[in-house]
Structure 1
Amino acid sequence: MGYTGRAEWRKHYAEGKGFRQLGDAERALLAAHTPVPEEGGRVLEVGCGTGELTAYLASLGYQVDAVDFAESALARAQQEHADTEGVRWLCLDIERDDPRELHGDGYDLVVMRLVYPFLRDRSRMLHSLAERLSPAGALVVITPTAEHTPAERRDIALDEDEIKTLVAGWQRAERFDADELAVLVLRGPCHSNTTEGEKRRL
């Protein structure tokens, strides 16, 4: 399976399709390990889809910049979560578009849920997002694992070597399980080196 571009995702969401629903275990882990700072916090969600996680993060008290490159996803998100306050819905390809719309003072939390395996250049993107974290901030990657994913859907998941590469170089990396998803909570400067092996095969 090759790179899935904007056109495919626009069609996906325009046809009423979605992604795996946010589970209670994921909610509990996010609330426990990435609570909103006392003075308030700002989160960047990369690949927000139809906004289920966005709405949950907002309910915790975060101000949320919710980013997706599929206009059809954002249209549904804004309709389905019209009463959710504290959210900026941004149509942006995080890998290719000008990031000037993102918050200039950084984020207390960056979340990628079911997105990381689809990135074209994983290491470059990880470093770019890490640079947007506040000093005490966390980057959370929620991903299917190859162990629990059918072979024909391998492209949506990470194997153990890919997870080791992802967490390498962070000052603190914690891994939790949420209904056969790996929840990776990464903190501190990311010092790992970019390698060709971290790029997604096209």
Structure 2
Amino acid sequence: MSDSQFGLVLIGVSTGGPRTLEEVLPFLPATLPWPVLVAQHMPPSFTASLASRLDGLCPLEVREGVSMEELRPGRIYIARGGTDMVVAQRGSKLVIVNRPESPAHTWHPSVELMVQSAAGLVPAEKLIAVQLTGMGHDGAQAMTDLRKAGGRTIAESDETAVIFGMPAELIKRGGAECVLPSGKIAQQIRQWIGRA
């Protein structure tokens, strides 16, 4: 377990994600004390430009995650396309590791692997997982397990999700602590971190 006092916000998103991220991430304040990790299903050539665009919209610094980069509060890390971004420990620090795409997982960057890796290093009560728009079920089981362990979870509601597949799967498995439209998710994250 890391000695770090902060927790992590973990966001999984697929189809319709770039627009939905613009409805969530710009509303997280520059003073947010936890790093934010985003696994957006995208091919390799698109995630750097996504990070750059979001960086221009957000109070927090947004960057594409680089292997062995230390996780720091005040930053949002976008998983690099063509890899699976996981959380690892180096000494007392939490770092990003970009692994080759896992053949055991259908979607990449993998939400499931990102959440599992964080849950193995950070106490559940210091983790918030958010399932946004997308097809399939990537991340649903890991987020459900996290909620059972005491973590906080949010599923985007049907009213704003471009594709309700990923959030619906989290809800179906009993893994969503709350279901919110995209415009209310940042506020909930801020409230939970303020009480963590």
Is the structural similarity TM-score above 0.5?
no
- Structure with the higher helix share, 1 or 2: 1
TM-score, normalising length: structure 1? 0.39
Higher relative contact order (CA 8 A, sep 6+): 2
Larger radius of gyration: 1
TM-score, normalising length: structure 2? 0.39
